[in-house]
Amino acid sequence: MIDFWRSSVGKKNIVAVTGAILIGYLILHMLGNLNSAFGPGAQEPRVDWYAHWLRDFGEPLLPHGFVVWAVRVILLGAIVTHITGIVQLTKRNKAARPANFPARRIGRSVESIAMLGTGALLLAFIVFHILQFTTLSIHVTPVEHGEVYANLYWVFQKWFFLAIYLVALILLGSHLRHGIWSAFQTLGLDSPSRNAKLRHGATALTVVLVVGFAAVPVLFFTDVLDPPHTTALLTSLSGAFS
Ligand code: HEM
């Protein structure tokens, strides 16, 4: 395994497989988020029920929150390995290039530079996003632990948060479309007869993810989804009248 990681082909394969793990997470995350589209519900919003269900999953056989933490560990491992592989491959490619060879001479390098740029910005977005919705450290609107629907509702009342998420999703779309296609090539799935289908497949999966993610902030911002009936709402109302 260590020899595989040391070789450039091995690194490329590991970058492709860790990318696939991250895409798997994104698909599940997007589907989970779409529970918000069911609105605040009569008793508990469906997205809150889903978030609690994830944390209770496997009890009493597994400890509370086991699945959530297992996914976090896998995600962190995949992100660190993905980035380390890319950084090492980029350094190797640079070292192998003749001195003074302009990177922009070859189209592939321009795409690689774009992948590095969108990747770095996505990493910054993920840190911001976790601080906003997991640790609830960034908030200019009311937030409550365990009240996912209310937190989403209040955050996406603000146009600047909507704008940040839409820009992040455009970056994600650009990164994914090229990344999925590169992964197909690295894993040897490409062939002249299949390439057109694979390219369309990469575009289709990217569009589904970007539109699926964008739907939730847009539905909240445009008030298609009703306000939550929760403590966060009471907090905000009491703030408005005090
Ligand atoms: C507009 C789209 C998105 C919305 C509305 C959204 C919403 C959320 C919410 C509410 C949480 C906290 C869940 C909880 O506490 O149960 C969360 C966590 C998270 N999201 Fe997103 N998300 C979006 C897009 C993304 C994207 C594009 C990525 C990755 C590139 C991402 C990665 C994560 C990660 C890594 C976590 C932490 C998971 C954890 O704490 O276990 N999200 N998201």
Enter the CATH code of domain 2-241: 1.20.1300
pLDDT tens digits, one per residue of 206-217:
999 999 999 999
Tens of pLDDT, residues 135-178: 999 888 888 888 999 999 999 999 999 999 999 999 999 999 99
Axis-axis angle for helices 159-186, 8-33 (nearest 10): 140
Mean pLDDT across 36-40: 97
Residue 202 has pLDDT above 70, yes or no: yes
Residue nearest atom 23 in ligand 1 by C-alpha distance: 213
Going from N- to C-terminal start, the domains of the chain cover 2-241
> Which tokens sit at 2?
């260590």
pLDDT of residue 229: 85
State which of 21, 25, 33, 72 you would mutate to test the pocket of ligand 1, scoring each by most atoms of that ligand within 8 A of its C-beta.
33
What average pLDDT does range 115-122 have in this prediction?
A: 96
Which of 133, 119, 128, 116 has its CA nearest to residue 29?
Answer: 133
Rounded Cα–Cα distance for residues 68 and 27 (Å): 16
What is the overall mean pLDDT for the chain? 91
pLDDT at 142 (0 to 100): 83
- How far is 129 from 112, CA to CA, in rounded Å? 25
State the number of CA atoms in the 13 A half-sphere of 46 facing the CB: 11
| pLDDT computed for residue 96 by the predictor | 81
CA of 69, closest atom in ligand 1: 41
How much is the pLDDT for 234? 57
How many Cβ atoms are within 10 Å of 21's Cβ, its own excluded?
16
**Cis amide bond preceding 60, omega within 30:** yes
- Regarding the beta carbon of 129 and ligand 1, being less than 6 Å apart is answered yes
Q: What is the pLDDT of residue 33?
A: 98
Report CA-CA distances (Å) from 25 to 29, 70, 72.
6, 12, 10
Check residue 58 and give left, alpha or beta (phi > 0: left; psi -120 to 50: alpha). Answer: left
For residue 242, what pLDDT band results from cuts at 50, 70 and 90? very low
Q: Whose CA is nearest to atom 29 of ligand 1?
A: 126
Res. 113 pLDDT band, cuts 50 70 90: confident
Mean pLDDT throughout 179-188?
Answer: 92
Structure tokens at 8: 């450039």
Q: What percent of the chain has pLDDT over 70?
A: 90
Q: Write out pLDDT tens, residues 42-80.
A: 889 999 999 999 999 999 999 999 999 999 999 999 999
